[in-house]
């Protein structure tokens, strides 16, 4: 429970925040109030669609992922976008989350940027004259039905074309940003960067007014940029951009190109969209930041052109079609003059005579059909088609991996846990079933990537995941993994125990347990301490769930169980004592530490 001091500090922070807003509100006197501005596009000035979407995603987290049982540990494994042959994951990945922090971060981002996107789209039809022809044009329907359905559709699209077993609403958050940034560049940039950072800092401060950090060792882990679905974020952002450009073109809105270019560029840098990475050998990762930055800069220009370029022909007129000579052009103008005069004098009540239109076009040498501004024949349209091609490439690269078919995997039945169609095991140096070179073997110099740790797999669900790395389990000693599906969950506990030999590797074993079923999942090789006492070597090896002490001398090996705390054992002419987790070997008055029990954080 939070202390009284923490509650008081949190309340004080909230009062200061609300007070500062009230003071500035009194000083700021805009020509139009916020409600008047908001209600011009939103029903009652409220982003109802955003609220419906947040409620839906929250319901998925609490009830589908069973976050209501343990908010910090939802069931996430089956709700990832594993493969086209895993329909549950594909349908739910964009609306599910891996942890409470993941969920709250995405929902905070949604509440900040989705209302801007909803304001751009609007609850009211383009013509606010009071007439509504179709049910979907009614403001309330657009607010609580059409907008959320569009979000669901985009979410399914991002799942289908996201690379790897992604999970999370962040692809939609980026889609909201892409949709909004083409209409309100600076406002969207500020909301998604500075305002979001300030909001998250304030929420954390209210939750924990005084945060105590204790520096301690941590296991080796991937860099932050290698844990983010960059391709999924870029995919969502580009989808939002394309939809925003189409809407702006339909409504005839045109933002300032300089502001748009600056906003897109800074947004891409702030959100790390330039961080193109892949997996190297062992624990290495490849960050293609140079090419990534070049791509981001080039795309910012192309996107700006797709929004703000002119509708002039893409190719010079001299390349488009043969030009008429000056004399020929003068002759055509003279011939058109009487026709234009006749057309103006012979107009019916319904408009100009179509016959004269056709004659004038024939004399003029061309039909006066208007070319759509997003046509490939215009400069703006050429840039827009380029954006579409980039979107197709970003989404298309995921298709081969999403066509993954999980074959039958061999397992040691005595060392694995089987829960419904899930198999949970511990392995080291296992071939990663989801990641391979994909054509960059020359860079990685590795024919296949390996995984070590607690591995969860399911051929039926096309799942293969290193749920807990070997390094993390070595650091923590005990970790849990939740498997399940709609309406059920099962928690598997992985526990490591072992001994650290002086001057050598550790000797350890891993056990897996769930619902009363306990399995010895893994035993490491034996190892000897890098010391000698009385010309003898002391080693430890795991054996059928126990640790065995071995003393070797002149090729002869004697064994005995590792003594319990504060006990001794005679083996191989040595006396070995366990002194609070440290083994000491003694002979003829000489005593040396040879091993210590592993400790965990």
Please tell me the predicted confidence (pLDDT) of residue 425.
93
Please check whether residue 366 lies inside any domain of the structure. no
Q: Are residues 38 and 155 in the same domain?
A: yes
Please check whether residues 69 and 116 belong to one and the same domain.
Answer: yes
286 shares a domain with 414 = no
Q: Which of 266, 285, 308 is the last residue of a domain?
A: 308
Q: Tell me, yes or no, whether 515 and 563 share the same domain.
A: no
Beta bridge partners of 506: 500
**Residues 64, 184 within the same domain:** yes
Series of mean pLDDT values for 10-residue runs along the chain (601 residues): 66 77 71 76 91 96 93 92 90 94 92 94 68 74 93 94 90 95 93 87 79 75 80 94 91 87 93 83 78 91 88 62 49 52 48 46 44 72 90 91 72 85 90 56 51 89 89 92 91 94 92 90 92 89 90 86 90 89 88 91 82
* Helix H or strand E encompassing 518: strand 517-523
pLDDT the model gives residue 282: 62
Q: In what order do the strands lie in the sheet with 546-553?
A: 527-533, 536-543, 546-553, 556-561
- 123 within a domain of the structure (yes/no): yes
- What is the distance between the alpha carbons of residues 306 and 178, in angstroms, rounded to a whole number? 13
Whether residues 122 and 251 fall in one domain: yes
Give Cα 597 distance to the centre of its chain: 39
Residue 540 lies in a domain: yes
- Burial pattern 573-582, b for ≥16 Cβ within 10 A else e, equals ebebebeeee
Helix (H) or strand (E) run with residue 338 in it: helix 326-345
Indicate whether 546 and 441 sit together in one domain. Answer: no
98 belongs to a structural domain: yes
User: Which neighbouring-strand residues pair with 532?
Assistant: 537
Residue 141 lies in a domain: yes
Tell whether 156 and 245 lie within a shared domain: yes
DSSP 8-state code for residue 46: -
- The reported pLDDT for the residue numbered 411 is 74
Instruction: Identify whether 180 is part of a domain.
Output: yes
Question: What is the pLDDT, as a whole number, of residue 443?
Answer: 41
What's the per-residue H, E or C state across 491-512? Answer: EEEEEEEEEEECCCCEEEEEEE
Structure tokens at 552: 């070797």
Q: Among 375, 597, 388, 403, which residue's Cα sits nearest to residue 501?
A: 597
The reply to whether 377 falls in a domain is: no
- What pLDDT shows up at residue 251? 84
Say if residue 143 is exposed, middle or buried (CB neighbours under 10 Å; 0-12, 13-18, 19+). Answer: buried
Residue whose C-alpha is closest to residue 425's, from 461, 386, 463, 389: 463
Give dist(CA 559, CA 107) in Å, integer. Answer: 59
Q: What is the pLDDT of residue 200?
A: 83
Domain count, the chain: 3
545 and 452 in a common domain: no
Q: Give the span between the Cα atoms of 302 and 322, in whole angstroms.
A: 30
User: Residue 137 to residues 92, 132, 133, 215: CA-CA distances in angstroms?
Assistant: 28, 6, 7, 57
Q: How far apart are the first and last CA of the chain?
A: 23
Distance between CA atoms of 59 and 66, rounded to whole angstroms? 10
Closest C-alpha to 233, from 151, 175, 167, 302: 175
CA–CA–CA angle 183, 185, 191 (5° rounding)? 115
How high is the pLDDT of residue 239?
96
Residues 433 and 569 in one domain: no
Query: Phi and psi of 507, rounded to 5°?
Result: -115, 130
**pTM to 2 decimal places:** 0.80
Tokens of 219: 């296991």
Q: Are strands 478-485 and 506-514 parallel, antiparallel or unpaired?
A: unpaired
Closest C-alpha among 508, 470, 486, 534 to residue 597? 508
Note whether 469 and 587 are same-domain residues.
Answer: no
Same-domain pairing of 570 and 517: no
Domain that holds residue 213: 31-308
Q: Is residue 281 part of a domain?
A: yes
Cα separation, 438 vs 419, in Å, equals: 32
Q: In this structure, what token pair is assigned to residue 413? A: 């039945």
| Integer Rg of the chain from CA | 33
């Amino acid at each position: 429970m939070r202390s009284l001091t923490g509650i008081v500090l949190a309340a004080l922070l909230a009062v200061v925040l609300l007070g500062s807003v009230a003071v500035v509100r009194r000083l700021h006197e805009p020509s139009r109030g916020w409600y008047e501005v908001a209600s011009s596009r939103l029903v009652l000035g409220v982003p109802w669609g955003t609220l419906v979407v947040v409620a839906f995603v929250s319901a998925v987290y609490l009830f589908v992922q069973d976050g209501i049982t343990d908010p910090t540990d939802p069931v996430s494994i089956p709700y990832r976008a594993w493969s086209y042959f895993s329909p549950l994951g594909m349908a739910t990945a964009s609306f599910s989350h891996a942890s409470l922090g993941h969920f709250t971060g995405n929902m905070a981002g949604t509440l900040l940027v989705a209302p801007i996107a909803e304001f751009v789209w609007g609850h009211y039809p383009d013509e606010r004259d009071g007439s509504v022809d179709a049910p979907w044009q009614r403001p309330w329907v657009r607010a609580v039905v059409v907008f959320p359905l569009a979000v669901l559709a985009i979410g399914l699209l991002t799942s289908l074309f996201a690379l790897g077993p992604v999970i999370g609403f962040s692809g939609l958050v980026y889609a909201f940003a892409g949709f909004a940034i083409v209409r309100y560049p600076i406002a969207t940039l500020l909301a998604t960067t500075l305002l979001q950072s300030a909001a998250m800092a304030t929420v954390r401060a209210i939750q924990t007014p005084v945060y105590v950090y204790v520096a301690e060792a941590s296991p080796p882990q991937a860099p932050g940029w290698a844990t983010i679905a960059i391709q999924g974020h870029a995919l969502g952002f580009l989808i939002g951009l394309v939809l925003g450009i189409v809407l702006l073109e339909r409504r005839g809105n045109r933002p300032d190109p300089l502001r748009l270019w600056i906003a897109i560029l800074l947004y891409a840098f702030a959100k790390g969209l330039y961080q193109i990475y892949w997996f190297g050998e062992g624990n290495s990762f490849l960050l293609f930041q140079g090419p990534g930055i070049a791509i981001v800069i080039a795309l910012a220009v192309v996107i700006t052109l797709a929004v703000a370029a002119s509708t002039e022909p893409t190719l010079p007129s001299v390349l488009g079609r043969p030009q008429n000579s000056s004399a020929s052009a003068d002759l055509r103008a003279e011939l058109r003059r009487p026709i234009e005069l006749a057309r103006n004098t012979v107009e019916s009540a319904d408009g100009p005579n179509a016959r004269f239109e056709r004659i004038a076009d024939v004399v003029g040498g061309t039909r006066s059909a208007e070319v759509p501004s997003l046509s490939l024949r215009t400069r703006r349209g050429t840039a827009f088609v380029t954006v579409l091609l980039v979107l197709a490439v970003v989404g298309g690269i995921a298709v081969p991996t999403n066509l993954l078919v999980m074959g039958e995997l061999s397992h040691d039945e005595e060392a694995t846990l089987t829960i419904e169609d899930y198999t949970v095991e511990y392995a080291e140096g296992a071939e990663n079933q989801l990641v391979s070179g994909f054509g960059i073997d020359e860079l990685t110099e590795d024919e296949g990537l390996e995984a070590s740790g607690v591995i969860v797999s399911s051929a039926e669900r096309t799942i293969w995941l290193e749920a807990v790395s070997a390094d993390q389990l070595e650091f923590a000693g005990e970790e849990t993994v939740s498997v399940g599906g709609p309406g059920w969950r099962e928690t598997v506990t992985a526990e490591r125990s072992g001994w650290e030999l002086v001057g050598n590797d550790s000797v350890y074993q891993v056990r897996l347990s769930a619902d009363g079923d306990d399995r010895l999942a893994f035993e490491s090789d034996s190892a000897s301490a890098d010391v000698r006492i009385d010309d003898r070597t002391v080693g430890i090896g795991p054996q059928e769930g126990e640790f065995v002490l071995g003393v070797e001398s002149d090729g002869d090996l004697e064994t005995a169980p590792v003594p319990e705390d504060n006990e001794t054992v005679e083996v191989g002419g040595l006396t070995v004592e366990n002194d609070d987790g440290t083994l000491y070997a003694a002979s003829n008055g000489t005593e040396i530490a040879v091993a210590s029990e592993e400790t965990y954080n």
